[in-house]
Amino acid sequence: MERVEQNRHRALANFSSFSRAVYSEIEEVGWEHLVRLSEDLKFLSFRVLDKKKRVHYIEIQLDKSYPKSPPSISVDVPCIFRLKWSRDSRLKDLLQQFQEHLEKLQEIWTILDEIDKSLWVVDLNRLSCANICRQINLGNDCFIMLCIHANDPKSLPECRFMGSGPTLNSLRKTWQRNSKRWNKDKPFLENVANLLDAELPRPPDYQNSDQQVECGICYAQFLPVDDELGAKSGCGTDYTCDNTSCSRAFHSVCLADWLCSITTTRQSFDVLFGNCPYCSEPVAVKINNTKS
């Protein structure tokens, strides 16, 4: 019986030293970057912004023997992210390495952004950050699939023609004939147009011009004028979902209220961590301090 007690005490002591360690490592990274933290503290997810303010998430699974054994990580990026881990490594080192990895990918995303903004990309909203291929609608049921090279994004991309349009074959031949014209010093889109010998169609304008500024929870644009709301009284929406295919606007007050009513919401200090009511992507919002 005594042994059982001892084991229990040891397990508790270990757990609390583990939890102390995890908390202090989160502290070093900054709680504002934490998106999710499981009850046993073994699963964490952080939000990381790259230099161009693109939002990325890193999911981290800690092992029993952490930090002796490296955490397992899951990220949505092209090119494998290889973590260098030593016994003294901490979560902040992991985040630092991830940030460095993101910076190496900037050239890839700059080209993809260029494509996404100017060309008629199929299923644009469903593409993940890791996807370096784009299916582009050339009109008349002709499509070209371009896959850029992760190691050399400005070089001639892999390409495949698809569709049943009557001009498909001639487009393919033109591309092959012109492929020597690819010039890495020229903008990517100019190269694509050069090889196809054609102007590429712009994406049809799906976006409606009047922006959604009403809150996704209370459906009003402005909060009521109310002393209890303090500085937020009468204010417009001040929080937008980071998921670009959602981008729903909220009053942070409404979002915090809503998160408080959800049982899976976690709280660390004055920040609530939960999921967007529209797209379920992680959201983090500060609890409104009405006196501020």
Chain residues that interact with Zn ion, rule: CB under 5 A = 215, 217-218, 241, 243, 246, 248, 251, 254, 276, 278-279
* Shortest separation between residue 210's beta carbon and Zn ion, angstroms: 18
Task: Name which of 154 and 248 has its Cβ closer to Zn ion.
Answer: 248
* Shortest separation between residue 99's beta carbon and Zn ion, angstroms: 24
Record the tokens describing residue 149, joined without a space.
Answer: 């090279």
Task: Name which of 114 and 281 has its Cβ closer to Zn ion.
Answer: 281
Task: Name which of 112 and 276 has its Cβ closer to Zn ion.
Answer: 276
DSSP secondary structure string for all residues of 246-275: T--EE-HHHHHHHHHT-TT-EEETTEEEEE
Helical residues (DSSP H) of the chain, grouped into ranges: 2-29, 91-104, 106-118, 168-178, 188-196, 252-260
Nearest CA to 158 out of 166, 169, 150 is that of 150
* Shortest separation between residue 78's beta carbon and Zn ion, angstroms: 24
Q: Phi then psi for 11, rounded to 5 degrees?
A: -60, -45
* Shortest separation between residue 235's beta carbon and Zn ion, angstroms: 10
Q: What is the dihedral of CA 123, 125, 128, 133, to 10 degrees?
A: 30
Task: Name which of 134 and 248 has its Cβ closer to Zn ion.
Answer: 248
